[in-house]
Chains A and B, each alone.
Chain A
Amino acid sequence: MTGTSGARGPKLTQTTAVLAMCAVLIVVFSIFLKGFLTLGNLFALARNISILGILALGMAVVVIGRGLDLSQVASFAASTAIAIILMNSGYATPVALLIGFVMAIAIGILNGFLISVIEMPPLLTTLASSLAVLGIVRTTAVQHYVVYLSKGHDEFLRLGGNIWGGVPISILIFAATAVVVHLFLSRTVIGRFVYAHGDNPDAARQTGLPTRPLTMIEYALCAAIGYVGGVVMVAQTALMHLQVAESTIIFDVIMVVVLGGVSLVGGRGNVMSVIAGTLLIGVLLNGMTIMDMDVQTQNIVKGIVLLIAILLDSRLHPRDEETSKQGD
């Protein structure tokens, strides 16, 4: 049975192509780059990609449903900043984290509401909501761009550390999130609805799918999973820098999603695609860092890789040519 969207079998899909590219890179780097194939470097690689991977898993849910969430980073930055402030002011860690979580989900639901009920375009809606959320949080609760976690939260900070002699916990959180998202997308009715919604929104509406609640669920999940990524980020650094929302991270997230084969057309791709995209970017960045490339060159390489991915996407999902209809 094809549990996921049929990306199995020997057929060349974008996911398998990206995985192959990734394998080639690993082989090439292992041969030519000293220090690439060491346990220490691989753990560092895992640690570096896990946050990006978690964020991309959330974004994938929205993109599969033919949407886009530019507010994901702003939403986790704002809600983790609030959580840190609550923790600093004496709230129990789980309570503070839960409040931040609820806040992230609320932002997601609001996005979904604006997009599905008010029928605003996702791109501009989420761009606007990212600015609004950040602005509101900055003016009301957070005085400085950087919010530090005060001392005395070692228990929490252990999340950002390692376990079993070097395995970063963040990669385990990425793996766990991947399993949960995979089970959601392929084994639950709502998950399949997300695919149907992205595949053909008009047919989904006509068939009687609850498209409006569905959109809200998609954006809420994106924000919630993004929040998980944000919490891992805080645990690794003991701070939240709100300027992260104005950085290019959101584009890296979208790149990873599209690269792996979660097409912006909607309804295509799965968790494996996200993992493939994350791995490729992670290996590439890691290799380039070892080669000591400067940021500009790294950006050029990233740009070229993204262009190749988009080219692959348009080749593998061409526009339907059978539109010629009989005249009436």
Chain B
Amino acid sequence: MRAEQQAGTPLLQVVDGSKVYGGLHAIDGVNFDLRPGEIHALLGENGAGKSTLCKAIAGAIVLTSGDYMIRGRKVSFASPKEALEGGVAMVYQESSLVPSMTVAQNLELGMEKWVTVYSKINIAATQSLQSMNFNVDPLVLVENLGTAKRQMVEIVRAVRHNAQVFIFDEPTASLTPEETQHLFHLLNTLKEKGAGIIFISHALEEALNIADRITVLRDGKLVATVPAKDVTRDSLVRMMVGREETAAQYATHGADPDAPKLESARGEKVLSVENVTMGSIVKNMSFSVFNGEVVGIFGLVGAGRSEIAQIVSGARKRNFLRGGMIYLRDRPVRYRVPRQAVRDGIAYITEDRKVDGFFETMTVDQNIYLGYLSSPRIRRFFYSAREMKRIADRWISALSISALKRTLKIVEYSGGNQQKVVVGKSLAQEPTVVIFDEPTRGVDVSAIPQIHQAIRGLARENKAVVVISSYLPEILAISDRILVARGGRIVEEMTRADATEDKIMYAAIH
């Protein structure tokens, strides 16, 4: 494959690139190159390092080690602006246009002269848009444009900066099929003009259709770079999930006394979600959770997995009309605020502890005690330091939180300890249904098994446990039953025994 490389140097090259965040490799020794006139698809699970690689290429982050070359010349971009001047443009998933400005003004953004003559920039905008055959009125405000047209404007903006490398992060995620076709047509036009295009996607078929070459990343490492015509969907899925080495990190339950239960052994039905709908994110989602089992919900970004958990726990509201039903022990429930869910024994443990998990000005003890106090079943007027210590002690030992200096604020602890505190804070409320959202995200490796043990321990205490994760080994390691979410629905249900990484991944990608 490499033998038939053209004579020209690659447009862009990353040699042995690594990026380290707090001791963890987001990408690790990745070699990547992009040729002129090529569409290069980048595939991988959530957390595989696709975005990190692209951010490094687009100048949003700087590589910890490794070389980055453009046309054989070594470069180091300190900001996206420098990268754009160097000919690398990123077309973001979330549009980076200013909604309150017109298309023409947005195209001019960052290149304004001292005085803006509107007639001039409008004519220039019309010319650029027409040269690419884009049917967009330059005088329209961007906020009135749909996603597809916004993308067009972003592309034109990149072209006007003389960009040679275009990075598209999930460009088709919010497009209709026709719009997707149009985008692909555009990509081909750019390609014919000699530009290089990096294309990140979850949709394998798209990558197979449009890409010339495909690079697969897994756990921050490069698995392979192959010509698109040499691979099939099946082999791609295998490349994306095959993870012999890292699977060892996760205890499998084979010989474990704590092995997942058989269907016949599970308890009564506790929670039942029927046709729940919320906007366009959750559509007719249905599933049930039983006592004493861990239900794993796997899904990619945008599958509606966190949203359904937030609906169940009262943090979000489902549609008022035709929003479906949620039953807690056969009693229909609809919560306005999380407090009502907490009263009924439902705990939701957030995926982003900094945003809505812990209280940063408080110590470990205070965080856990506040969780206990905020349970509506606790009626107490005075804050008791003695009770705080007793309750904090209980959960610090139960979750093996290494809180050596109890007077330190929680922000001074490691991610793993913070996560355990957030778990303890919820468990102190004695819930009967516990929903974990990405329980080990940003957690140090040593704390992962401890958190998993705690989750299995809850099921052993006959509680109903739901674990939402976008990390396959985690889902496989701790679930009794696995649900796969896609596009706001549960599309597949399997038992632990039937599930394999390939099967789950297959169901999760469209």
**B52 contacts partner chain A, Cβ-Cβ < 8 Å:** yes
Q: With A and B bound together, what is the CA distance between A200 and B361 in angstroms?
A: 9
| Number of residue pairs A-B, CB distance < 8 angstroms | 125
For the complex, is B111 an interface residue (Cβ under 8 Å from A)?
no
Known: A188-B383, A328-B51. A207 touches B370 (CB 8 A): yes
Residues of chain A lying within 8 A (CB to CB) of residue B425 = 207
A9 nearest in chain B by CB position: B407
Find out whether the CB atom of A209 lies under 8 angstroms from the CB atom of B374: yes
Measured between C-beta atoms, what is the minimum distance from A65 to chain B in Å?
A: 13
Measured between alpha carbons, how far is A206 from B409 in the docked complex, in Å? 20
Which residues in window 54-104 of B have CB below 8 A to A?
54-55, 61
Decide: B361 and A199 in contact? CB cutoff 8 A.
Answer: yes
What residue of chain A has the Cβ atom nearest to residue B313's Cβ?
A: A206
B2 on the interface (CB 8 Å rule)?
no
> CB distance A186 to B356 under 8 Å?
no
Known A-B contacts A206-B348, A208-B376; A196 and B339 likewise in contact (beta carbons under 8 Å):
no
Let me know if B375 and A199 touch, CB within 8 A: no
How many positions in chain A have a CB within 8 Å of any CB in the partner chain?
36
List residues of chain B with CB within 8 A of the CB of A206: 313, 315, 338, 348, 350, 356-357
| A302-328 Cβ-contact flags toward B at 8 Å (1 or 0) | 000000000000000000100011111
Contact flag A326-B52 (CB < 8 Å), given A207-B425, A208-B338: yes
Chain B 334-347: CB-based contact to A (< 8 A → 1; otherwise 0): 00011101110000
Residue contact B47 to A207, C-beta cutoff 8 Å: no
The answer to the question of A203 belonging to the interface, with a C-beta cut-off of 8 Å to chain B, is yes
Could you say which of B51, B348, B363, B370 contacts A6, with CB atoms under 8 Å apart? B363
| Residues A325 and B383 in contact in the complex (CB < 8 Å), given A2-B407, A196-B370 | no
A203 proximity list for chain B (CB < 8 A): 350, 355-359
Q: Does A1 interact with chain B (Cβ within 8 Å)? A: yes
Contacts of A209 in B (CB 8 A): 339, 370, 374
Q: Are B374 and A195 in contact (CB under 8 A)?
A: no
The verdict on B371 contacting chain A, using a C-beta distance below 8 Å, is yes
Are the CB atoms of A205 and B26 closer together than 8 Å? no
**B55, B360, B374: the one within 8 Å of A200 (CB):** B360
CB B235 to nearest CB in A, in angstroms, measures 24
Q: How far is the CB of A326 from chain B (nearest CB, A)?
A: 5
Q: Which of B318-348 contact A (CB under 8 A)?
A: 337-339, 341-343, 348
Please report the C-alpha to C-alpha distance between residue A203 and residue B359 in the assembled complex, in whole angstroms: 7
Which residues of chain A are within 8 angstroms of B204 by Cβ–Cβ distance? none
Q: Report the separation of the CA atoms of residues A191 and B382 in the bound assembly, to the nearest whole angstrom.
A: 9
B52: which A residues are within 8 A, CB to CB? Answer: 326-327
Q: Does A241 contact B (CB under 8 A)?
A: no
Contact B359 A200 (CB under 8 A): yes
The reply to whether the CB of A187 lies closer than 8 angstroms to some CB of chain B is: yes
Q: Does B429 contact A (CB under 8 A)?
A: yes
Tell which of A193, A205, A324 touches B356, judged by Cβ atoms closer than 8 Å: A205
Residues of A within 8 A of B359 (CB): 195-196, 199-200, 203-204, 267
Contacts of B426 in A (CB 8 A): 207
Query: What 0/1 pattern do residues 65 to 86 of A give for CB contact below 8 A with B?
Result: 0000000000000000000000
Q: Is the CB of B361 within 8 A of A6?
A: yes
| B50 contacts A by Cβ under 8 Å | yes
A23-48 Cβ-contact flags toward B at 8 Å (1 or 0): 00000000000000000000000000
Closest to A213 in B: B339
- Residues in A with CB closer than 8 Å to B381 are 188-190
B356 contacts A327, C-beta separation under 8 Å: no
Instruction: Give every chain B residue within 8 A of A202 (Cβ-Cβ).
Output: 355-356
Partner of A326, one of B21, B315, B350: B21
Q: When the two chains form their complex, are residues B354 and A208 in contact, meaning their CB atoms are under 8 A apart?
A: no
- Set of chain B residues within 8 Å of A212, measured between Cβ atoms: 337
The distance from the CB of A213 to the nearest CB of chain B, in whole angstroms, is 10
- Known contacts A188-B382, A205-B337, A5 near B361 by CB under 8 Å: yes
Contacts of B180 in A (CB 8 A): none
A210 within 8 Å of B (CB atoms): yes
**B362 interface residue per 8 A CB criterion:** yes
Whether the Cβ atoms of B356 and A1 lie closer than 8 Å is: no
Contact of A200 with B373 in the complex, beta carbons under 8 Å = no
Q: Which residues of the other chain, B, contact A135 by a CB distance below 8 angstroms?
A: none
Instruction: State whether the Cβ of B46 lies closer than 8 Å to any Cβ in chain A.
Output: yes
Considering the chains assembled together, what is the distance between the CA atoms of A152 and B14 in angstroms? 89
For residue A94, CB closer than 8 A to chain B, the reply is no
Check: B29 CB closer than 8 A to any chain A CB: no
Contacts of A200 in B (CB 8 A): 356, 358-360
Residues of chain A from 164 to 223 with CB closer than 8 A to chain B in the complex: 186-193, 195-196, 199-200, 202-212
B356 pairs with A208, CB closer than 8 A: no
Report the Cα distance A193→B425, complex, angstroms. 14
B385 and A327 contact, CB distance less than 8 A: no
- Give the residues in chain B near A191, CB-CB below 8 Å: 383
- Bound-complex Cα distance A251 to B377 (A): 41
Nearest neighbor of A8 in chain B, beta-carbon distance: B407
Complex contact A207–B383 (CB within 8 A): no
The answer to whether B301 has its CB under 8 Å from any CB of chain A is yes
Chain B residues whose CB sits within 8 angstroms of the CB of A1 once the complex forms: 385, 388
Are A196 and B362 neighbours in the complex by a CB distance under 8 Å?
yes
Contacts of A199 in B (CB 8 A): 359-362
Residues of A contacting B358 with CB < 8 Å?
Answer: 200, 203
* Most chain A beta-carbon neighbours within 10 Å: one of B51, B301, B362: B362
Is B442 in contact with chain A by the CB < 8 A criterion? yes
Q: How far is the CA of A208 from the CA of B430 in the complex (A)?
A: 13
| Candidates B24, B50, B382, B409; contact of A189 at CB < 8 Å | B382
With most chain B CB atoms within 10 A of its CB, the pick from A6, A186, A202, A208 is A208
B49 at interface (Cβ–Cβ under 8 A)? Answer: yes
Is B380 part of the contact surface with A, judged by Cβ < 8 Å? yes
1/0 contact trace for B377-392 toward A, CB 8 Å? 0001111010010000
Task: State in angstroms the CA–CA spacing of A328 and B442 once bound together.
Answer: 12
> Contact: A192 with B337, CB < 8 Å?
no
Contacts of A121 in B (CB 8 A): none
Q: Is A207's CB under 8 angstroms from B361's CB?
A: no
Whether the Cβ atoms of B49 and A327 lie closer than 8 Å is yes
Shortest A171–chain B CB gap in Å is 28
Q: Is the CB of B24 within 8 A of A326?
A: yes
Taking Cβ atoms with an 8 Å cutoff, the residues of A that contact B are 1-3, 5-6, 186-193, 195-196, 199-200, 202-212, 267-268, 320, 324-328
The 7 nearest A-B residue pairs measured at CB: A208-B342, A327-B51, A327-B52, A202-B356, A199-B359, A1-B385, A208-B374
24 inter-chain pairs at a CB distance below 8 angstroms, sorted by A residue, are: A6-B361, A187-B383, A192-B366, A192-B370, A192-B373, A195-B362, A196-B359, A200-B358, A202-B355, A203-B358, A203-B359, A204-B374, A206-B313, A206-B348, A206-B356, A207-B370, A207-B374, A207-B425, A211-B337, A211-B339, A324-B21, A326-B24, A326-B47, A327-B50
Q: A2-B407, A6-B361 are in contact. List 5 more A-B contacts (CB 8 A).
A: A200-B359, A203-B356, A205-B337, A207-B371, A209-B339
